Structure 1
């Protein structure tokens, strides 16, 4: 079983609580997305609702919270509910597959370390009616996910070439957006623009907290087994991925903490993956998707 996920719509994810020493208590939806991406995406199966309850109980998530999360995701068109006898099973919708696959590619194909140095930038300007608050929120969310930062009011910028046509068209904003690809000219410095459009210090601090929590002899001591550790690891990494615009490494302070953090995630994923899969195969009740 493969696949990991980052929900590409930031407003859909609940914020995590951060405790002492960088410990993060992911919300049930974040854990659910981690589980679906790792053990359901690409498997053509449905999972018994009681199995979700059993899995997340080991992470201290109540039955009520699990059922509420499943119901909410079904209402949002992410899960498809089917009954078999007296049991209810949940499978991925086509929308969920698209979202999970997009996140999977972001984590494992693109990664957070961007070595691009071709010097091309993407600028996107937009002008929307004042009453279009929802459209403005959706556009900003998608721009953030695509690696843009706000440079001026109505002007967002990304230090790479970004194809915005798909999500701009999906949002129905083609007539309200202008996109340019350009290079910086003197006296503008790339590092200056990056620091104006992004909170680089806050992003770096997030990776340092992640390393403090996971780069230890006994990471996530609250987790009872490798399945719990894997879900916590993925959920917390998802939270960082959501806020990381993948800025080119050449424009960032050296050393950049995302580099060792990403290596650590890959290493821990390999360490926990086999045992986590065995646990899922033993305790999770599934049916074929069709």
Structure 2
């Protein structure tokens, strides 16, 4: 049993990797049973799912005396975006433009400002200066979703622009993101998970591991790798450092996930209602 994972983010992982492929809806009883494998108790699961419901990620419906939870449109969009970034193999090509978002949110809406900052970091924006955020990625869709979600059209100005100096695009990147730190974390991930990969490959070939254990390992792998969504801005290859380890980490993640997924899915289906 593994208690190191926060219940709410573990639920996000399960929705992203499993539930959304099964109609995006699950009975709370199944969710409790699945999370028990990681050492989470019923009370923690109910509290976390109720919080996610208040935040607009899921909605509940009663069928008889049973509660079912399904992803909202906002939840589906987030899962879709996360999944695209988690299961990609390499960085995209750059169109040479920077997207620049400037906000001017009044002091009496400070909590809104904090929420927006978190969302911008998650989407891969970098903070260039106070209230000015940039990204080389075409994130127009995500920005419009954010503006609608928080109803902040009046406070946001959004540009698609070219960088005219005074330095290089590379120095802009260094100013906005600590890629050295991200690269070090990729290095740690590769070291830890290549070892685990070979051990589990061996166990699976020998038939010496249960479906339940594969499920726990697979969800834990996704859960750990998902953390890179919060720190890696997913920059185009032209803007990445020479010794970038993100692509090697992605290959390892995909190979390991493919190894565990069939058995993990069997376990999920045995519990899922």
In structure 2, the partner of 1:8 is: none
Q: TM-score, normalised to structure 1's length?
A: 0.78
Residue 61, structure 1, aligned to residue 40, structure 2: yes
Residue 272, structure 1, aligned to residue 260, structure 2: yes
Structure 2: which 5+ residue stretches go unaligned? 204-209
Q: 1:78 aligns with which of 57, 82, 102?
A: 57
- Alignment map for 1:70-149 (pairs within 5 Å): 70-84=49-63, 87-108=66-87, 111=88, 113-149=90-126
Task: Please give the secondary structure, in 1, of the residue aligned with 2:137.
Answer: coil
In structure 2, the partner of 1:244 is: 232
Task: Please give the secondary structure, in 2, of the residue aligned with 1:255.
Answer: coil
Contact 2:3 2:38 (8 Å CA) reproduced: no
Task: Please give the secondary structure, in 1, of the residue aligned with 2:199.
Answer: coil
In structure 2, the partner of 1:180 is: 159
**Partners of 1:81 and 1:124 in 2: CA distance:** 35
Render the CA deviation track for 1:208-243: whole Å, top value 9, x for unaligned.
222122111337x9x961100111011111111122
**Larger deviation: 141-150 or 37-46?**
37-46
More helix by share: 2
Q: 1:215 aligns with which of 156, 180, 194?
A: 194
Displacement after TM superposition at 1:84 (Å): 4.5
**Partners of 1:168 and 1:207 in 2: CA distance:** 32
Q: TM-score, normalised to structure 2's length?
A: 0.83
**Partners of 1:29 and 1:36 in 2: CA distance:** 11
CA-based RMSD of the aligned residues comes to 2.7
**Partners of 2:89 and 2:102 in 1: CA distance:** 25
Contact 2:147 2:153 (8 Å CA) reproduced: yes
**Larger deviation: 275-284 or 188-197?**
275-284
Displacement after TM superposition at 1:189 (Å): 0.9
1:91–1:115 distance in 2 versus 1, CA, 3 Å: closer
1:60–1:120 distance in 2 versus 1, CA, 3 Å: same
1:177–1:80 distance in 2 versus 1, CA, 3 Å: closer
Render the CA deviation track for 1:81-113: whole Å, top value 9, x for unaligned.
3445554433333432233223223333xx374
In structure 1, the partner of 2:242 is: 254
In structure 2, the partner of 1:43 is: 22
**Partners of 1:77 and 1:29 in 2: CA distance:** 13
Task: Please give the secondary structure, in 2, of the residue aligned with 1:89.
Answer: strand
Residue correspondences, number: 259
